[in-house]
Amino acid sequence: MNPRILAVTTGRILRQLRHDRRTVALLVLVPTVLLTLVYYMYADQPAPPAGPSTFDRIALVMLGFFPFIVMFLVTSIAMLRERTTGTLERLLTTPLAKADLLFGYGIAFGLAGAVQAAVASAVAYWVFGLDTAGASGLVIMIAALNAVLAVALGLFCSAFARTEFQAVQFMPVVVAPQLLLCGLFVPRGEMAGWLQAISDVLPLSYAVEALQEVGAHAEPTGTMWRDVAVVAGAAVLALVLAAATLRRRSG
């Protein structure tokens, strides 16, 4: 890996994103619109007898979802384009190392995810009065980490798609089970044993638990740091797998 090549590659990816103003606008605005929907959905519902309000519980987890879902899709398509337009083949004939490209995507879209999470968090805290015991900075950090995880998974999955239609289909395959089993809909402890076992190997479960820890505790807890480490480890693993799908020679 070469720091200069990594830097110019990250810059190139961000520049591509910047030229696509509509995508940038959607990235920033859609989470706010969805948070608004959720806020009014629960506005007239009776508050639960104990624990956080329903909006607080759901909004906190949603802040982690947005970058995960969006960055997975964006990365899958971006990497598929690199493969289909021949830029990837060309890049691999230059001094660029595979890690320069993969980490370039991780940093660029990780930053984009962080910006998205920061805007959505600002709206959630200031407009809709989201209340967490822990710091909002930790929420944004976990959301950004989710973005990096999603980028890594997207880079890996793009290797198995030939067309953009196929790439989009990986979204329900990779993302939906993680959403369903992460503990938002049914607490993980109350699921059947085999569902818990699946939930235990899905990285998003740990991201959601980390967010819930921030919601419930004023100071970062050991559980939260452990969860953060698990998510980071999963991202690194997915990047390694993605590197294995990048072949300099093909048939």
Site string for other proteins, 73-92 (x = CB under 8 A): ------------xxx-xxxx
Q: Binding to other proteins by residue 226, rule CB under 8 A? A: no
Least separation in angstroms between CB 59 and other proteins: 33
Structure tokens at 146: 């989710």
Distance of CA 233 to the CA centre of its chain: 14
- The whole-angstrom separation of Cα 229 and Cα 213 is 14
Give the DSSP H/E element, type plus range, for residue 19: helix 3-19
Task: Tell me: does residue 16 bind other proteins (CB under 8 A).
Answer: yes
Q: Which of residues 87-116 bind other proteins (CB under 8 A)?
A: 87, 89-96
Rounded Cα distance, 223 and 231, in Å: 12
Tokens, residue 16: 């591509």
Cβ 156 to other proteins shortest distance, Å: 21
Under the binding rule (CB under 8 A), the answer on residue 201 touching other proteins is no
Query: How far apart are CB 79 and other proteins at their closest, in Å?
Result: 13
Structure tokens of 29? Answer: 């605005």
CB of 241 to other proteins, least distance (A): 21
Q: If 0-12 CB within 10 Å is exposed, 13-18 middle and 19+ buried, where does residue 27 land? A: buried
Q: Which residues are near other proteins by CB under 8 A?
A: 4-5, 8-9, 12, 15-16, 19-20, 85-87, 89-96, 248-251
